[in-house]
Amino acid sequence: MTYALDIKILAGLEPISSFGPARLREILDYCHIETIHKGNNPFESNGLEGQSVYLVEGELELAYQDGNRVVVSARSEWAKHPLGKRQPYIVGAKALRESQLLRVDAQLLDRMVTLDQFSQHETVQHSFTVSGGAENFDTAISAKHLLNSRMFSADNLKNGPFEHLPMANISLLLQRIEAIAVWENDVIIREGDEGDYYYLIDSGKAQVTRRVGGVDISLALLKSGDVFGEEALVANIKRNATVTMKSNGVLLRLGRQDFLALLQEPLLHKLSYEQAMQAIAQNAVWLDVRHPSEYRYDRLPGAMNVPLNDIRNAIGILDRNKKYIVYCQSGCRSAAVAFILAQAGYDVQVLEGGLWTVPRAAQ
């Protein structure tokens, strides 16, 4: 029997039922339906650890650690809740007829529920500025609005920048982020300026350019869900490019201090040279993010070179199954690269202090 899962099924499960339609569609992509034939134990080869498991079709007999046995039907109130979440533990189970289980990552579900509950009671500063400065006004919007943005998507909670971020930090982000309306041709950041904000494009498009030999060179076209502005904040350097809106849109921005405290620091995992060498011995890869001229002069043995300016182009090309130890001269540029790669879901760590901490004999 083929079982079609849709958001109507999810909307009847707890605590998923608290989600709005957009959130339900998101988590649908992370749900897996498993068919259990009559007489089989659904947990014999695939247990309950780390998962929220729901009975959505059929009937199971569950045996508990205290000796009790209970028959659970998919039509019962009990089936609205994850199996095995109540004490005592389930020690055996049998499908009384062909049944269907829905499985979803328990940690992802818990993070989504936590964020959803928190957003019910918070507001975010939403600023609108009319081009030319003719009119400025602020209004408060519900943080619930942000749950529909790419920044707080299920993918970011599961595989992206928020995967290892404490929920307390994510909750604070909802309070600290400012949403701003922007217009076509607005210059959001300018090459050579000090870094002040980290940005995510909620809607609209933007062009990234850099001035080379008196000519503006186009580097990238940014779209909804893309982020920019972190390099200057992490590495404590001036802006290395200009970002100009190519359409009207809405940006989410986070101030420098909030960015460093809530986003950057938790995502940076630093290693001493001795710890890094142990990781390299276990097949981690050195990633040198300096200029090619620096790399050729004193690179570490076996290191590959991807300069900071090119790191976004390497996302998707670098092997996601490898662990990377990122280094530069002092640790500033490598921290920026590590943050960008961590946002993209890579397993990446930073050589603390950069090459300045490496014995000369090792270079």
Instruction: Enumerate residues 6+ apart whose C-beta is below 8 A from 354.
Output: 327, 328, 329, 330, 331, 332, 334
Helix/strand/coil for 153: coil
CB 348 within 8 A of CB 338: yes
Long-range contacts: 116-120, Cβ < 8 Å, 24+? 116/18, 116/19, 116/23, 116/147, 117/18, 118/143, 118/171, 118/174, 119/143, 119/144, 119/146, 119/147, 119/174, 120/144
Alpha helix positions (H), the chain: 7-10, 21-28, 106-119, 154-158, 167-176, 230-235, 256-258, 265-267, 273-281, 292-298, 311-314, 332-343
CA distance 299 to 307: 13
CB-count exposure of residue 152 (10 Å: 0-12, 13-18, 19+)? buried
Alpha helix positions (H), 221-324: 230-235, 256-258, 265-267, 273-281, 292-298, 311-314
- Among residues 315, 10, 334, 21, the alpha carbon closest in space to that of 160 is found at 315
CA distance 200 to 324: 25
What DSSP letter does each residue of 3-46 carry, written as one string?
----HHHHTTSTTGGGS-HHHHHHHHTT-EEEEE-TT--TTSSS
Indicate which residue of 328, 341, 350, 355 is catalytic. 328
The answer to whether residue 31 is catalytic is: no
CA distance 93 to 323: 39
Residues with a known catalytic role: 328
